[in-house]
Structure formats: structure tokens, C-alpha cells
Amino acid sequence: AQPMRWIGVALKVGDLAKYDARLRSAGFDLQYDPGMEACYFIIPRHQVLGMRLEVLAQDLPNDPRRDATWRAHPEDNPLGIEGLQAIGLSAPSLDVARSLFADKLNWPEIALRYLPESDADGAVFNIGDTVLEAMVGRDATSPITIHARDIKGIYNLVFKVRDAEGAATALRAKGLD
């Protein structure tokens, strides 16, 4: 993502009005598109460490996943993706992340871990059917630290795949390492 680009997450809730009241009481400034007040609202990215949140009262229109028999065709899914496992978000500190995600959004922190491949610390929050991992680099020159400072927002996505070696081979065949 480049600075100020739209990248975010859509979350479905059971009671939009109740969620609106809870988030407003936590200090969020919510945005509604005219005529869509019963369908969704947005929390702009500057309020959520660079990640826009779209809170929905309904399924996404025309989402094929609503059909229990739907499966991605293998040609459309060469990596064998089965689902989203985690969203990685760069953060300036774990305290800032906890204040936002655990305290204001009420997402339970379920783990704290060291990420050796990135030399970063991560706090993992349950956000429903996936997790959000707030990552803080341990060095001022680390890619995660630079992302948190200069770009903000989603740093990576982690997918569950049927065959990790097969997915890696498919990515390498496209020149990705």
C-alpha cells in the first residue's frame, strides 16, 4: 500500500445500531454514506492505525461464499487458498495497538509472540473468524517500523492453503520468492 490508499477490512455485525453506539462511546467518528445508514458505516483509516474498517449489517452483495455449495475453481485458485488466517498490521507500539484493538474495539488479545523472521513483536487479537496481528519492529530501520511510520495499515495477509509446498512452487514459477 502507498500512503493514503484505500486498504481495509469489512466486518459483519448482528446489530449495526448497537455497534454504532458502542464505537461512538469509545470515541470513534463514524462515516455513513447517504441512504446506506441501515447497511454499513466506515471508520476511516486514520482512526485505526491506517486500516479502514467497514462495518456491515449484511453480507456483501453477490458474494459467492454465501452459497454453501460454492467452491473456487482450481484454475481460479492455483495457490489452493482455503481461507484468511490472519491480517498483519504495522503498529508504532504494542501499547498503542492494545489501546485501540483491545480497549476501544473490544477485540480480545489472545497471544503475544516474537516474529524472528521479521525481528518484530506481535500482539494477536481475535476479530471474529480470523485474527489481526499488530506487529512492531524491534529496530528503527526494520521494514515493519518503516511501514508503521511512513505508510501505516495492513502489512501482510496470511492465508491457509491446502498445500504450502505447492503454493510456494506456484509463486516461485511466477517469479515471486
Q: What is the pLDDT of residues 9-30, one digit of tens each?
A: 999 999 999 999 999 999 999 9
Q: What is the pLDDT of residue 59?
A: 85
Beta carbons of 86 and 93 less than 8 angstroms apart? no
Q: In the predicted model, is pLDDT for residue 5 greater than 60?
A: no
- Tell me the pLDDT band of 57, cut-offs 50, 70 and 90: very high
Instruction: For residues 88 and 134, give the distance between their C-alpha atoms in angstroms, rounded to a whole number.
Output: 6
CA distances from 63 to 26, 58, 59, 114 (A): 31, 11, 7, 36
Q: Is 173 helix (H, G, I), strand (E, B) or coil?
A: helix
Paired residues of 52 in beta bridges:
8
DSSP H or E run through 145: helix 143-146
Q: What is the pLDDT of residues 123-143, one digit of tens each?
A: 999 998 899 999 999 999 999
CA quadruple 170, 175, 176, 177: dihedral positive or negative? positive
Q: In the predicted model, is pLDDT for residue 6 greater than 70?
A: no
Cell 500512503 belongs to which residue?
Answer: 3
Q: What is the pLDDT of residues 114-123, one digit of tens each?
A: 999 999 999 9
